[in-house]
């Protein structure tokens, strides 16, 4: 039995399931056989003996349907599963394979469903996995779980190392599915990309939605044998109860091949965004945030002093958002109660911000509660609990309290949902229009919930939906510290990397074995590696640009690098300095970066590893090109424009200008010497292809 598209062939039989999935246009690109799997338990908590097995194979409406079943010793113990492989073809999108699966409990008693895997490949005598010559030629994109989680390319011989402390991993990684810290084993959250850097073949496998369950892709490679041991696409249902006769569907899975200079990851993200009804604002916000200079010491006086300073620059710099961050509340959890540093209250700040011509923005961590907050004291039954019935520890932040761990509310509790909606409706009623909601991962930690029918992903989605109901459809929501998938269609913007810092690297990275930790270098990495989400799921937030001179250990070159990346990436661009002490030279640096913002960029060397260096973007005047030196020593690179532009476009180039040095560069048949680039510095080029009389930006 077979089904095919213009570029994809699927062969199937009852003995193997899907015997082979093969590209018709790329050499050495196929794998199989593949089947499906389910993990469930009965009321006594025991897993059944044996696997769920294929029973029938059918072809229907151009798709293949595989039925599977499990039968216990008791005639009433029966679980069935149905998997469907449907080819997809659409204009301006590579053809792919849509894989859907559902499980039905046909037993007389409930079961607990741990996971559904619509696709499972395992090595065996008849198995083969080819993407070019050898897995040792592969780069694998491992997408992290939440905003701050490291996202990067790995080679097959590397391993993904989790943080050394469990409490740290709980704030940054999916603790229900941690990396096993083994060479050749990679876990990608919701999507996995495998790229052959020699042959150019690509394979993307990703779940399109995340409304009910978290999902992950597990790839196991044996580097010594240069063989693939396993590939599994798994939806995590966290042991939810499935009643007799009830059917549970996995999130839909999409598979696509791509060739050299093709990126099926972009196609997956676009298809996923449509499936989740993504909210993508037309314009990326530009503005100011109080956090990275004042932190929790922000006061009404310092806040309004910066508002007054920027009011005079608003039109010239096209600023639109002015956001109050952490430090105004009396306690974490009590978002409507302001402390003595803000004597006139939140509504007064809204009036002042609007009068200055800005959109008012405010920060909250809506799912967290300090044990001494009014929220936690008055409503202890609203808190998430661990298996022992004690309040769950969801966060530790010494800035808030060095001696106390922070709790989390339970968004599956109807009263918590009502409180969330009412709280944000109250803030919206004051006039706040831009809502940064932070530390959202807390409600997705393993816990005992009021509504056990919701998974960890479902609980997060329920909480986010309650917040959206409160603010209404028009205001902008910026998510942060958020497991990504369930927020699509609710958040308008999303932090896609860790916090920046007023220094390039974080020395604690090595002490804590933490590749997710706050660091400008890590923010650069994630901004590049998660570029595929921008304008497909939301507007990406690379985090704030710290351009100040005082209280800043970033060098001028490092400031220019991050500002250039923020500009060319097309994401949100917020400043977070004390603008009352801003020297004119740094203000001009910001103006220059803002003048070169784009709608989005393309990463030219994604296979480079953790830190790709070349970014390219089209503009209405031509192109922008950014080359970042991630190394700790000076480099002298050469770039060939023929790698990105056809010959006819090369002939139309009128100027190539290095923006920060304001000097012309010469190219010979597309080749350009970029000159010495200092460590952590960059070359930011404006390539003008306009006809006569067009001058570069000032």
Please give the torsion angle defined by the CA atoms of residues 612, 140, 158 and 506, in that order, rounded to the nearest 10 degrees: 40
Q: How far apart are the first and last CA of the chain?
A: 63
Cα 686 to chain centroid distance, Å, stands at 29
Query: Phi, psi at residue 41, to the nearest 5°?
Result: -135, 155
Please give the torsion angle defined by the CA atoms of residues 477, 478, 479 and 481, in that order, rounded to the nearest 10 degrees: -150
| CA atoms of 465 and 299, how far apart (whole Å) | 31
Asked if 283 and 236 count as a contact pair (C-beta separation under 8 A), the reply is no
687: closest CA among 646, 642, 647, 641? 641
Catalytic residue numbers, as ranges: 438, 499
6: closest CA among 85, 83, 91, 65? 91
3-state secondary structure of 139: strand
Q: From the DSSP assignment, how many helices (H) and strands (E) are in the chain?
A: 14, 39
3-state secondary structure of 390: coil
Most distant CA pair in the chain, distance: 84
Asked if 480 and 436 count as a contact pair (C-beta separation under 8 A), the reply is yes
Asked if 234 and 36 count as a contact pair (C-beta separation under 8 A), the reply is no
Q: 15 to each of 11, 34, 49, 597, 660, how far by Cα in Å? A: 12, 11, 20, 55, 63
Please compute, for residue 481, the number of CA atoms within 13 A of its CA located in the half-sphere on the CB side. 25
| CA atoms of 352 and 86, how far apart (whole Å) | 56
Please compute, for residue 324, the number of CA atoms within 13 A of its CA located in the half-sphere on the CB side. 30
């Amino acid at each position: 039995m077979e089904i095919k598209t213009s570029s994809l062939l699927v062969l199937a039989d009852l003995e193997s399931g899907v015997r082979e999935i093969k590209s018709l246009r790329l050499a050495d690109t196929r794998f199989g056989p593949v089947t499906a799997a389910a993990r469930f338990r009965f009321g006594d908590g025991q897993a059944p003996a044996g696997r769920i097995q294929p029973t029938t194979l059918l072809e229907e409406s151009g798709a293949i349907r595989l039925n599977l079943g499990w039968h216990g010793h008791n005639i009433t113990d029966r679980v069935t599963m149905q998997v469907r492989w449907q080819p997809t073809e659409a204009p301006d999108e590579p053809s792919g394979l849509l894989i859907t699966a559902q499980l039905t409990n046909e037993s007389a008693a409930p079961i607990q469903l741990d996971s559904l895997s619509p696709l499972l490949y395992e090595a065996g005598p008849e198995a083969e996995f080819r993407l070019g010559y050898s897995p040792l030629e592969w780069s694998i994109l491992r997408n992290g779980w939440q905003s701050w989680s490291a996202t990067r390319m790995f080679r097959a011989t590397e391993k993904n190392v989790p943080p050394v402390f469990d409490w740290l991993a709980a704030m940054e990684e999916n603790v229900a599915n941690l990396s096993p810290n083994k060479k050749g084993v990679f876990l990608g959250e919701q999507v996995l990309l495998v790229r052959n850097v020699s042959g150019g073949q690509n394979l993307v496998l990703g779940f399109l939605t995340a409304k009910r369950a978290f999902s992950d892709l597990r790839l196991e490679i044996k580097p010594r044998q240069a063989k693939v041991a396993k590939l599994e696409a798994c939806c995590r249902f966290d042991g939810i109860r499935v009643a007799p006769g009830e059917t549970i569907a996995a999130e839909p899975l999409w598979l696509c091949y791509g060739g050299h200079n093709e990126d099926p990851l972009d196609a997956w993200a676009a298809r996923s965004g449509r499936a989740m009804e993504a909210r993508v604002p037309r314009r990326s916000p530009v503005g100011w945030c109080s956090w990275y200079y004042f932190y929790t010491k922000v006061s009404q006086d310092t806040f309004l002093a910066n508002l007054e300073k920027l009011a005079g620059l608003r039109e010239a710099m096209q600023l639109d958002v002015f956001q109050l961050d952490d430090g105004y509340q009396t306690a974490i959890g009590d978002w409507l109660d302001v402390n003595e540093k803000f004597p006139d209250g939140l509504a007064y700040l809204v009036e002042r911000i609007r009068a200055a011509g800005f959109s008012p923005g405010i920060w909250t961590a809506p799912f967290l509660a300090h044990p001494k907050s009014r929220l936690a004291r008055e409503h202890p039954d609203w808190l998430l609990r661990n298996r022992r019935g004690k309040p769950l520890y969801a966060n530790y932040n010494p800035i808030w309290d060095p001696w106390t761990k922070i709790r989390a509310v339970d968004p599956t509790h109807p009263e918590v949902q009502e409180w969330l909606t009412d709280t944000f409706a109250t803030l919206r009623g004051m006039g706040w229009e831009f809502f940064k909601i932070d530390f959202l991962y807390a409600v997705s930690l393993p816990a005992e919930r009021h509504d056990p029918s919701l998974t960890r992903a479902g609980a997060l989605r329920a909480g986010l939906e309650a917040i959206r109901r409160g603010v209404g459809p028009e205001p902008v929501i910026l998510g942060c510290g958020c497991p990504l998938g369930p927020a699509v269609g609710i958040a308008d913007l999303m932090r896609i990397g860790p916090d920046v810092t007023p220094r390039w690297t974080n020395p604690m990275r090595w002490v804590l074995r933490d590749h997710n930790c706050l660091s400008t270098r890590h923010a650069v990495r994630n901004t590049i590696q998660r570029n595929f989400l921008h304008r497909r799921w939301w507007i990406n937030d690379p985090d704030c640009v710290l351009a100040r001179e005082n209280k800043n250990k970033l060098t001028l070159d490092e400031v220019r690098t991050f500002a250039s990346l923020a500009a060319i990436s097309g994401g949100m661009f917020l400043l977070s300095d004390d603008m009352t002490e801003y020297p004119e030279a740094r203000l001009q640096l910001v103006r220059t970066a803002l003048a070169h913002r784009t709608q989005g960029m393309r990463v030219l060397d994604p296979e480079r590893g953790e830190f790709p260096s070349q970014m390219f973007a089209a503009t209405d005047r031509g192109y922008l090109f950014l080359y970042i030196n991630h190394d700790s020593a000076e480099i002298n690179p050469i770039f060939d424009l023929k790698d990105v532009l056809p010959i006819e476009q090369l002939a139309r180039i009128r100027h190539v200008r290095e923006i920060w040095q304001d000097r012309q560069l010469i190219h010979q048949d597309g080749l350009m010497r970029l000159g010495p680039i200092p460590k952590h510095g960059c070359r930011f080029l404006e390539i003008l292809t306009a006809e006569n009389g067009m001058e570069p930006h000032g």
